[in-house]
Structure 1
Amino acid sequence: MGDPARKVPTFEELLAEIDRLPEYLSGEILEPGEIRTMSRPKAPHRRAVGQCYRALGDADKASGGTGWWIELEPAVRFGDRLFNPDLAGWRVERCPEPPDEYPITLLPDWCCEVLSPSTARDDRKIKLPHYARSGVGWVWLIDPEIHLVEVFRTEREHLILVTAAGEDETPRLPPFDLEINLAPFWILPKPAEPSSP
């Protein structure tokens, strides 16, 4: 007689496991029934997230701006999955008060993922298409390694690359009507030490 089929944990059971993780780990449910844990990000990732958050201050109502609620690493439920985008935004016209539930169930209007060597594959292969299928209108991918921001718009559950910018450009990146100086996003490599004669 074979073993009984393995019981797949419910979303609520997995969320309770994530809530018990030590502070130095975070968890997501990228595939139903499975938790992916990761350690806190390294300096290039943290810098890109922080600088992007600051750059969007004029759009973030909580920071004195207008039009958006911008959140750092919110836990957002997408059906039986839980994603923690590095940044997410909700338009004030659709969400008059900042989302205040855990996990957030109101679909973001914009999500931003900052790629790290350990997460880039899942961000591109799992999260990016799932954002589109769920109806997130805009998604940014920021790659601190190659100093690049890619902006995608969702059309009929598919993502269309609208623009890309990098290095020290100051583009207007949709959906925000702001000029964003990208130079501070990147940790530049230290200059090489001169060799001794």
Structure 2
Amino acid sequence: MSGVAKQRASKPATLEDLLAIPEADRRHEIIDGELLEKGAATGEHGGAQADLVTALNHRFGRRPGGRWPGGWWFATEVEISFAPAQVYRPDVVGWRRERAPQRPTGVPITLLPDWICEILSTNRRNDLVKKKRTHHQCQVPHYWIVDPAEETLAVHRWGPDGYIEILAAQRGEIVRAEPFDAIAFHVGVLFGDDEPEE
């Protein structure tokens, strides 16, 4: 735990506490009122994150129309305010352009995303429990979990009683994963496989 997190352990952390950390050193989140430093990403984590962004942005990170579906904005590791005591840095997020005509900006971004993907690493419990709970409360429509250790992808859709897992896939499978189900997706691309030539 960083010194900043220790000094705030007795009272809920605020956005001001988060922004007081120099930007170059800020890999922190406010989770349930606690200022926490994100663990360093493994090579597997970083590779999966880069490959996911490359695959999605190529096809969806553009205006609708043309050869690819388009219609989305994507960002990685940006601070998003979910509530006063919840400011997260999701691994990858996306907003539908029909809801966000301009790329979301600011620190933190206050427009909630339409899709979030967390890539499991040292922060597994937060991604699988605390953040998932907050994303559901904020009605984020889709939440993906990529697990580099197990080489799996889990796709969750928002429902009134909780997230519903609508797809579980592993390396070697080709899937159509909401909300990007307009195209087939090779799960192995997340884990170092080459994408087939188009």
**Structure 2: gaps (5+ residues):** 1-8, 194-198
Q: Which runs of 5+ in 1 are unaligned?
A: 1-5, 189-197
Cα distance, 1:29–1:65 mapped onto 2, change above 3 Å: same
What TM-score, normalized by structure 2, do the two folds share?
A: 0.83
Aligned length: 178
Q: Look up the SS of the partner of 1:151 in the other structure.
A: strand
Q: Is the 8 A contact 1:171 1:179 kept in 2?
A: yes
After TM superposition, give the deviation of residue 10 of structure 1 in Å. 5.2
TM-aligned CA deviation for residue 30 of structure 1: 0.8
RMSD: 2.1
- Corresponding position of 2:81: 77
Question: Which residue does the alignment assign to 2:51?
Answer: 51
The residue that corresponds to 1:136 in the other structure is 140
**Distance between the aligned counterparts of 2:32 and 2:139, measured in 1?**
18
Tell me: CA distance 1:38–1:47, structure 2 relative to 1, closer, same or farther (3 Å): same
The reply to whether residue 168 of structure 1 matches residue 172 of structure 2 is: yes
State the identity %: 29
Q: Tell me, in whole angstroms, the C-alpha distance in 1 between the residues paired with 2:98 and 2:134.
A: 24
Residue 16 (structure 1) aligns with: 19
Separation of aligned partners in 1, 2:72 and 2:167:
21
Counterpart residue number, 1:110: 115
In the other structure, the counterpart of 1:155 is: 159
* C-alpha distance in 2 between matches for 1:186 and 1:121: 21
1:87-121 deviation line (CA, Å, top 9, x unaligned) = 001000000011012101111000000001x2011
Structure 2 contact 136–162 (Cα < 8 Å) conserved: yes
**4+ long deviations beyond 3 Å:** none
Bigger CA radius of gyration: 1
Per-residue Cα deviation, 1:103-149 (whole angstroms, up to 9, x for no partner): 01111000000001x20111111001110111100000000000000
